[in-house]
Amino acid sequence: MKVIEPGDPTFKSVVEAVGDDRKPLSGADDEQETAKISNGEGNRITPVSRTQAARAIFGSSARQVKPAIKSFIESPNCSSRNGASINMIVLHSTTAATVEGTIAWFLDRKSQVSAHYVVDKNGDVYQMVSDDRSAWHAKAINSRSIGIEHVATATDRLTDAQSVASAQLVRWLAATYGIPAANVLGHRFAPCNEGTTDCPNHLFGDATEDAVAEWVNSNVADALGSKEPRSGRHVAAEPVAHRALEFPDWANPSTWFARLRSDLSRIDQNVRRLDVRPLPHSPAARLTALELMTIAIEDRRFFHHPGVDVLSILREAIKVLKGRKHGGASTIDMQFVRTVTGYRAPTMKRKIYEGFLALVIQSRHKKLEILRSYLDCAFFGSGLIGANAAAQRVFNKNADRLSLEEASFISAMLAYPRPLQGLPRWEQRARRRAAYAVAVFDRRKGRLTGRYGIVPLKPVS
């Protein structure tokens, strides 16, 4: 095997393409450690920095953008990576024809199956396991791989929207974790999985390893200038180490701002842009029954605070001091941030950062945009992402057609998501919370709407 050293012309061409960053960088992502990387021709580049290795393989992560995550729905079927580094991406196809069925399966503890990401046929991307955790999708290589599930039956091929979204996700993951194109594999062709499954079936055309490799070369590697020939594809023996950054490195401002820009970009991509005119007859300027009930039950002062409700924080703090039952004082803005970013660790650090993002997005988006975007991506139960899906499942109608009573029940599902089992007990709890929402609406109707009007409401029966 030929070794490409820093003085070699081949190495020089790589450096000219991606920039020479052999000098150490500051912060926790110290680039002084070296990595061994392989290309498709069996050559090896060593020693180089980790960032340079990632760039040489898949391009700079700064040029790659993570696709918008429609919703983060945490699956219980995951475990610790036990210190293993991510060096592989495994592509799957589901046997479920809908994203709701796929998500419901991954939420079921009995299935003992999950994936980090699910890509729907329309290109929507859902995250179910955080990258720093091990999803249960590929047997012995779970701890060092990322699993991407595509909604498709055994005979389906990738839709155009699926292919675009999946390619963007793979490019971002590869650039972030320094994963070579050779390590993007179909499930049945991954190490320790040969002969155990037919997945990903005909997702990439022919059910062959070459078909998967051709898709990777055409849709992923080409875009980053790192195309590898199909012959000689192999899994790199030496994984490239990465730093699992859940939150910014406060000692390194450049890292902090990079994380902030990334999170704000994800939020911006998930906002439903609205043409909200100040005309009283404009439908976009009126609140639906579901929006009213959500404000009543989740954040009564939604239109009167800048993303963080100081009065609610003081109220809950007093309850803590008195030893009484208390809540988290989260506003709808903060819940929207949490849903999009996927930050759910029960720590004060996460809460402060969540509140900060909620304050920042006030200058970027209208309040009504934030409310409707939250309802569009919130989790309402097993396989139910978004208010429309919940309304269709429970009442067989669109969310904007709900009566006050129906809307109060759907809004209650934000606190009590619909489970797979135990429906009678769940319904009892949800109806109690729905009744509370109606009572709040009756008392505070004039203070809930802000400057917006209300669509004609059907009375509570």
Same domain, 355 and 297: yes
pLDDT at 156: 85
Cβ neighbors of 247 (< 8 A, separation 6 or more) are: 259, 343, 349, 350, 353
Same domain, 310 and 321: yes
Mean pLDDT of the chain: 75
Contact 354, 337 (CB under 8 A): yes
The answer to whether residue 230 sits within a structural domain is no
% of the chain residues with pLDDT over 90: 17
More confident residue, 412 or 38: 412
Residue finishing a domain among 224, 244, 261: 224
Contact 35, 28 (CB under 8 A): no
Indicate the pTM of the whole model: 0.53
Cβ neighbors of 356 (< 8 A, separation 6 or more) are: none
The answer to whether residue 220 sits within a structural domain is yes
Same domain, 25 and 107: no
Whether the pLDDT of residue 25 is over 80: the answer is no
Same domain, 70 and 20: no
Same domain, 10 and 149: no
The answer to whether residue 36 sits within a structural domain is yes
Same domain, 47 and 92: no
More confident residue, 122 or 196: 122
Number of domains in the chain: 3
Whether the pLDDT of residue 279 is over 70: the answer is no
The answer to whether residue 241 sits within a structural domain is no
The answer to whether residue 237 sits within a structural domain is no
Same domain, 46 and 70: no
> Residue 137 corresponds to which tokens in the numbers above?
């999708």
The answer to whether residue 214 sits within a structural domain is yes
Q: Give the pLDDT band (50/70/90) at residue 89.
A: very high
Same domain, 261 and 366: yes
More confident residue, 333 or 223: 333
Same domain, 75 and 189: yes
Whether the pLDDT of residue 134 is over 50: the answer is yes
pLDDT at 44: 40
Residue 428 belongs to domain with CATH number: 1.10.3810.10
Measured CA to CA, the distance from residue 343 to residue 336 in angstroms comes to 11
The helix-helix angle for 367-377 and 332-341 (nearest 10°) equals: 50
> Residue 129 corresponds to which tokens in the numbers above?
């396991």
Whether the pLDDT of residue 11 is over 80: the answer is no
Domain residues for the domain of 398 are: 253-454
Same domain, 211 and 183: yes
The residue-averaged pLDDT of 284-289 equals: 76
Residue 174 belongs to domain with CATH number: 3.40.80.10
The string of pLDDT tens digits covering residues 328-347 is 788 999 999 888 877 777 77
Whether the pLDDT of residue 146 is over 90: the answer is yes
pLDDT at 235: 37
Same domain, 65 and 202: yes
The answer to whether residue 208 sits within a structural domain is yes
For residue 456, whether the previous peptide bond is cis, meaning omega lies within 30 degrees of 0, is no
Same domain, 53 and 69: no
More confident residue, 22 or 403: 403
Whether the pLDDT of residue 392 is over 50: the answer is yes
The residue-averaged pLDDT of 425-435 equals: 90
The answer to whether residue 240 sits within a structural domain is no
The residue-averaged pLDDT of 142-160 equals: 89
Q: Give the pLDDT band (50/70/90) at residue 284.
A: low
Whether the pLDDT of residue 169 is over 90: the answer is yes
pLDDT at 19: 40
Give ∠ CA 179-183-189 in degrees, rounded to 5: 160
Whether the pLDDT of residue 139 is over 60: the answer is yes
The residue-averaged pLDDT of 15-29 equals: 37
